Structure 1
Amino acid sequence: MAARWLGASVGLLLTVGAARAAEAQPPPPAHQPGTPRQAGEWVQTFEAQAQIGVQFFPGAAAHLAGSGLAYGVSIGWKPLWLGGIELSYQGANYSTSVEDLAPSVSIFENGVQLLLRISPRFGVFEPYALAGGAISFVNVRDNEGVKHSIQDDMLVKVPLGLGVDIHLQPRNADPTETHVIVGARASYLLVFFNDFLPVTSRGADQMSTLVLLGVGF
């Protein structure tokens, strides 16, 4: 319960903070197609990133499934200075907790995720808040013939998160010039329609922390 309230509170604070920061610094004017681009005008940008990190269960499911590897690839489109959208493949690999099931059972997740990002850029730094939806297919690899209550499932998730990207280019460079991006994010994933674990949907909620590496253009 404490982890859920903490995740929600931090997400709300970042969203409010991003909105206030955007108000404090007016967005640059948008570039008008068909006209010469002026210095300081904002143009739509794109990015592609690889992600890797850790995924775990902060609630009741923690005694059934341990933490494990999370990974993914994403593409993003930012038509506005204030934000854009991100589409990604998301995967994870973890195991059941040995204390509950022996031998442990490997669990794999594969899914897709669509996010809305509020991400005003300030020089090379781009802090953001994210929210969206995801579908994840869970596959339980039981090679030992162990009978248990964890099973294959399709999960619906609502990710809420915070992150920051750092654009490795000169501060006043054209954002459409190809450049390297490094970043990090933390997400709380609300899980719905859970038949995967013998706990309530809130008990099956997940958290992930990721580092990101990619290109912007």
Structure 2
Amino acid sequence: MKTFVRIAGCVGALWGCAVAAQEDFRPSAERAQGYVEPAREDEPRRHKSSSRADTGLYAQLGGGAEGYTGQLAPRMEAGFAYGAAVGYRPIPFMAVELGYNGSLNDVDVDGNGRGGSLGSGPDVVRSGGQALVVGNFTETRLQPYAVTGLGIDDYNIRHDAQGRLFGFEDDTSGYVPAGLGLRYQVNKLITADARVSYNFLFDQGFAPTSATPNALDGRYMGTLQIGGTY
């Protein structure tokens, strides 16, 4: 009997030690809320993804093609376009931009689509400036975006004597650009940009038209540009 009591006592003592070893000594509030051990200070911190687009000052230049629509289309042939821009992106989703753009176009004196320009070389040299607001749709390195703003054009007609004879003349007027683009941040510095836009012209006094101008008598442009963010 004594031996049995001693064995029972030993088993009880061992059981008590095991229970004590597993006992949760945390405060009751922590046990109830599910306490999670904080990360150690020596663990590496997570950095922002390198795929995010950069903010700050940027510049770009490039070239493409430009043409006219509506009743201007038969009188103006598509030509080479070029441009440069400087902008500032205060936040990833928005930028403001100042740009210069121009084009070289031949005219169709008869409006019959068979050519017949005023002379050798480009007949209309256009130079313009614009102020734009750029709205980005994403915050990644590949950014589709939309642009709008206000611009002004100066049209210079080459071969002036023939130009006046067929109704073309030098002119200055404004326009409202609206466009879409796709910008890619190649690396920390270099960017590539593709943009198409339609410009609503305030008037078309540089070219002869037979009817009252409307919004469909405008200008379209497509450009590819390379630049950098600083």
TM-score, normalised via structure 2 length:
0.68
Q: Aligned match of 2:176 in 152, 158, 174?
A: 158
Mapped pair 1:104 → 2:118: yes
2:61 to 33, 37, 50: 50
Shift of residue 68 of structure 1? 0.4
**1:81 maps to which of 89, 92, 95:** 92
Cα deviation per residue 1:55-114 (whole Å; 9 max; x = unaligned)? 001211111110001101100101122201110111111010265473435100111111
- Cα distance between partner residues in 1 of 2:220 and 2:102: 13
Match of 2:204 in 1: 194
Identity of aligned residues (%): 24
Aligned AA for 1:97?
D
Higher share in strand: 1
Pair member with larger Rg:
2
Query: Against the structure 1 CA distance between its residues 60 and 145, is the aligned structure 2 distance closer, same or farther, given a 3 Å change threshold?
Result: closer
Indicate which of 108, 120, 132 corresponds to 2:149. Answer: 132
Partners of 1:141 and 1:113 in 2: CA distance: 24
Distance between the aligned counterparts of 2:195 and 2:160, measured in 1? 34
Q: 2:53 touches 2:185 (CA, 8 Å); kept in 1?
A: no
Contact 2:118/2:162 (8 A) holds in 1: no
- Deviates most, 92-101 or 153-162: 92-101
Q: Which sections of structure 2, spanning at least 5 residues, go unmatched?
A: 1-45
Report the CA distance shift for 1:103/1:208 in structure 2 as closer, same or farther (over 3 A).
closer
Runs of 4+ residues over 6 Å off in structure 1: none
Distance in 2 between residues matched to 1:70 and 1:190, nearest whole Å: 17
Give the letter aligned to residue 195 of structure 1: G
Q: Distance in 2 between matches of 1:39 and 1:190?
A: 45
Using the TM superposition, give the Cα deviation of residue 145 of structure 1 relative to its aligned residue in structure 2, in angstroms.
Answer: 3.6
Q: Quickly say closer, same or farther: Cα 1:187–1:42, change in 2 above 3 A.
A: closer
Match of 2:71 among 52, 55, 60: 60
Would the aligned equivalents of 1:157 and 1:190 in 2 still touch at CA under 8 Å?
A: yes
Q: CA deviation at 1:123?
A: 2.6
Q: How many residues align?
A: 172
Q: Is the 8 A contact 1:59 1:204 kept in 2?
A: yes
The corresponding residue for 1:183 is 193
From the superposition, tell whether residues 150 and 124 of structure 1 become closer, same or farther in structure 2 (CA, over 3 Å).
Answer: same
Contact 1:43/1:79 (<8 A) preserved: no
CA distance in 2, matches of 1:99, 1:162: 33
Determine the C-alpha separation between the residues in 1 that align with 2:65 and 2:54: 34
Cα RMSD after superposing both structures: 2.3
Query: 1:32: which partner in 2?
Result: none
Q: Which residue of 2 aligns with 1:207?
A: 220
Structure 1 length-normalised TM:
0.72
Change (3 A) 1:203 1:122: closer
- Does the 8 Å CA contact 1:194/1:201 hold for their aligned counterparts? no
